[in-house]
Amino acid sequence: MVIKLLKSIALITIITCSLKAQQVNIIPYPASINIMHGQFTFDKNTKIVLVNDIHNTNQKEVVLFNDWLNNYFGYKLTTSNKIKQNENTIQITAINSESEKYELNIQGNTIKIKALGEGLKNAFESLKQLIVLNNKQNSSTIPCLFINDSATFKWRGMHLDVCRHFFTKEEVKRYIDYISMYKMNTFHWHLTDDQGWRIEIKKYPKLTEIGGWRKGSMVGHYSEHTFDTLHYGGFYTQDDIKEVVAYAQTKHVTIVPEIEMPGHAMAALAAYPNYACTEGPFEVQKQWGVFEDVFCPKPETFRFLEDVLTEVMALFPGEYIHIGGDECPKTRWKTCSHCQALIKSEGLKDEHELQSYFIKHISNFLSKHHKKLIGWDEILEGGIASNAAIMSWRGEEGGIAAAKEKHYAVMTPGAYCYFDHYQGHPTQEPVAFGGYTPLEKVYEYNPIPHALKEEEKKYILGAQGNVWAEYLPHFNHVEYTAFPRIAALSEVLWTPAEQKNLNGFLQRIQGHFKFLDLYRINYSKSIYNINYEIRIDSTEKASLYLNNILFERNITSHNDSIVYQLSENAALQKYTNPVSITQSTQGRAFFYRNGEALGKDCNFKFFKNKATSKKVNFVEPPSKYYNKGNLTDGLLGHSPRINSEWLAWSGKNMDAVIDLIHDTEINTINVGFLKNEDDWIYLPSYVEIMISSNGKDFTSVSTKPVISQELNRYNYLFKIDKQKVRFVKIIAQCAPVIPEGRNGAGNNAWLFVDEIQAD
Ligand code: ACM
Ligand code: ZN
């Protein structure tokens, strides 16, 4: 076992060296680092000397470091409190007070560390990476350097949803290891939701007896609406929680437990229906989503929630308790006599102020017990409770509004921090929630919004990566979706902005993969995935462009190439220049390094037709948010969607005219639409095809498509029977305002279109 590991470590060294790293390979990159001449040889003869460790605080970290060495290298270092000359020594001097800071000074035959507790843990995390990535056989040759390191942000967090899928306490501990190894310090444990209540509450045993279990789960993507019938669930006993909390403390990670209210409460209401507005009965939900039955703000509900929070506060020593507050439909409150009477008696304007009343009540309760409330940004609506902190997830606006009102905020905007999004093209990646958040996007995030004034910036505590588990049935899926994005986020939060460098990070992360291999972490290699694009020039010639982030940023080595094949039986070719495409093609491409394909295969399909490359004019331009797509590039959009493949209109019709340039015989017109009503995207209510020879006088030729479906993409096929046409007009009428009872009720529907084909 150890021999096998050592072999893989030897390989690591070769690969790291070949990456021509400009930087020492440590993630997150230190705040300050000077690389010096010389090397330190780290091996089993290295000694540890502890200086001034009055309360044995550093001794505890040394024990953990030695356990780590033993685990991965099969030896421990001897410890003493006396320095001997001519021995390779790690000399650890305790500083006055504990913090995340540390100094690591590697020179000659001494590694000098100045730190205490958490800081020493962080020094060891840096050292572990240096040991592993510089290891050859039985020793590591570490460059001499001086690191003076501290964190940029205070809240360096990762979230884990254990409700949509349940993870054992051992898996949760591993997750805490991962948080700690990147010098992050906060674990947001999402413990209750519609699909399961996961924390034992002694006073209300049915919360876990009933609320901890459901009668089936969704399989495939939400849009497929299919379920299994398996009894599914699990929960943590209070002893489990205590064990995890104690473990997290040894790793210097604070746990922020989340108990959702007033919405996302179906599992609780399945157990105790009397805390809803209506009588129930309710079920623990199999489906992911937002549910209308929520807690009713009755005195008995508040008593119940306070009892629950009392037990929660006793288990979690951190200062914050997360109370959710997101996605609480007001439907039941609008027709509940108690809720309506409360709105009147409290002089509230509406149900939004009732939500605020609810949160303020809970916030006051937590304050009395010296805890602070944090909630998702919806708790701003109707007025924020004093002392409450905001977790900004619907973009950055919540965090900006909170900071402007002098409330603390943690940034978790979906576009950067939701690690349930795809990290590569959906066709190349396991099913995920949706969205597209590749590694480089996470890396480039800056938690301080531009909109904040200097004096408001201090209210941004930091940021957090969210791992919602709808599509993560097993812990190895959690690893895949979190890694390596967690590494990028750690650098966003730890490393000063002026030290951040995307190219440097993309090079370091490839060496770092070997560190993850040593830990047997199931990480994504999507940085190697190939993207494709068809570009059409002024002479209507189509060319295939292949790329990936490493080529795009010019950080490949001579051993790297993109290899492609234009059809299943065609020869594999090395990509050097854009490839001319003259006919419909179904090919593939992949990244190739030193005889090995890395990342996932990229499969591309190009549909050449009479509309390909022809100009499209719109009466009403598409929304500025979704205007990247090209309707005549011969490429179909995918579902789940990548926004750049689609054009979209909100509450407006698409009125498009294609100029085919010459009179052209056309038999069929195909138009592709997306349907994803949960995301407010509806099929058009009506589509009409018109033709013209002069671009002014149009004749209607069809309003009756044959509709076929592939996942959420709907193809509308119009037969128009050998017409000679020059101009084709497509009018697609956007669906009406979203009806009551649906996601986004009262808002304009969206119309998404990906392609128009003429044959
Ligand atoms: C959330 O993603 N509903 C906070
Ligand atoms: Zn009610």
Domain 616-758, what fold?
Jelly Rolls (2.60.120)
pLDDT of 207: 98
Domain 23-149 CATH assignment equals 3.30.9.10: no
Give the C-alpha separation, 268 to 342, whole Å. 23
pTM: 0.91
Catalytic residue among 264, 322, 425, 512: 264
Q: Is the CB of 433 under 6 A from ligand 1?
A: no
Omega cis (within 30) before 640: yes
Per-residue pLDDT, averaged over 585-591, amounts to 96
5 pLDDT higher than 50: no
Q: Looking at the predicted structure, is the pLDDT value of residue 540 above 90?
A: no
| Mean pLDDT lowest among 443-457, 687-701, 711-725 | 711-725
Confidence of residue 678 (pLDDT cuts 50, 70, 90): confident
* Distance set, CA 681 to CA 290, 437, 619, 713, 757 (Å): 17, 20, 21, 11, 22
293 has catalytic annotation: no
Out of 177, 240, 311, 327, the active site residue is 327
Radius of gyration of the chain (CA): 29
419 CA to centre of ligand 1 in angstroms: 12
pLDDT digit string (tens) for 348-358?
A: 999 999 999 99
Taking only the tens place, the pLDDT of each residue in 276-299 is 999 999 999 999 999 999 999 999
DSSP per position, 332-390:
HHHH-HHHHHHHHHTT--SHHHHHHHHHHHHHHHHHHTT-EEEEEGGGGTT-PPTT-EE
Number of the ligand closest to the Cα of 278 = 2
- Average pLDDT in the 115-128 region? 98
Please give the pLDDT value at position 670. Answer: 98
Q: pLDDT category, 12, cuts 50, 70, 90? A: very low
224 in catalytic set: no
Q: Is residue 11 very low, low, confident or very high in pLDDT (cuts 50, 70, 90)? A: very low
Ligand 1: which of 376, 416, 437, 679 to mutate, most ligand atoms within 8 Å of CB? 376
Residue nearest to atom 2 of ligand 1 (CA): 393
* The residue to which tokens 């090395």 are assigned: 574
> How many angstroms does the Cα of residue 339 sit away from the middle of ligand 2?
4
Centre of ligand 2 to C-alpha 281, Å, is 15
Mutate to test the pocket of ligand 1, among 194, 222, 326, 743 (most ligand atoms within 8 A of CB): 326
Which ligand has the shortest distance to the CA of 466?
A: 1
Spatial distance between the Cα atoms of 516 and 485, rounded to a whole number of angstroms:
13
Decide if pLDDT at 440 tops 50: yes
CATH fold for domain 155-518:
TIM Barrel (3.20.20)
Does 327 contact ligand 1 (Cβ within 6 A)? yes
78 CB neighbour count, 10 Å cutoff: 11
Residue with the nearest Cα to atom 3 of ligand 1? 326
Q: Could you count the other beta carbons within 10 Å of the beta carbon of residue 496? A: 13
Indicate if ligand 1 lies below 6 Å from the C-beta of 494: no
pLDDT at 753: 98
Domain range summary for the chain, segments of one domain joined by + = 23-149, 155-518, 529-606, 616-758
Give me the mean pLDDT over the 252-264 stretch: 98
Q: What's the chain's average pLDDT?
A: 94
Question: Is there an atom of ligand 1 within 6 Å of 393 CB?
Answer: yes
Give me the catalytic one of 53, 103, 118, 193. 193
Per-residue pLDDT for 122 more than 70? yes
Q: Tell me how far the alpha carbon of residue 323 lies from the centroid of ligand 1, in angstroms.
A: 12
**For the CA of 269, the nearest ligand:** 2
Fold adopted by 529-606: Immunoglobulin-like (2.60.40)
Ligand 2 centroid – CA 338 distance (Å): 5
pLDDT single digits (tens) 392-428: 999 999 999 999 999 999 999 999 999 999 999 888 8
Task: Label residue 311 by pLDDT band (50, 70, 90).
Answer: very high
Annotated catalytic residue 560: no
633-641 mean pLDDT: 87
Q: Do domains 529-606 and 616-758 have the same CATH topology?
A: no
376 lines ligand 1 (CB under 6 A): yes
Q: Which atom of ligand 1 is nearest to the CA of 376?
A: 4
Q: Which atom of ligand 1 is nearest to the CA of 324?
A: 4
Closest ligand 1 atom to 418 CA = 2
SS3 state of residue 644: helix
Q: Output the CA 326–ligand 1 centroid distance in Å.
A: 6
**Ion ligand 2: residues, Cβ under 5 Å:** 277, 296, 336, 338-339
Percent of the chain with pLDDT over 70: 97
**Mean pLDDT, range 24-38, rounded to an integer:** 96
What is the structure's pLDDT at 21?
Answer: 38
Local confidence band at 536 (pLDDT 50, 70, 90 cut-offs):
confident
- SS3 for 544-572, per residue? EEEECHHHHCCCCCCCEEEEEECCCCCCC
Of 2-16, 130-144, 477-491, 529-543, the poorest mean pLDDT is in 2-16
pLDDT for the residue 15: 37
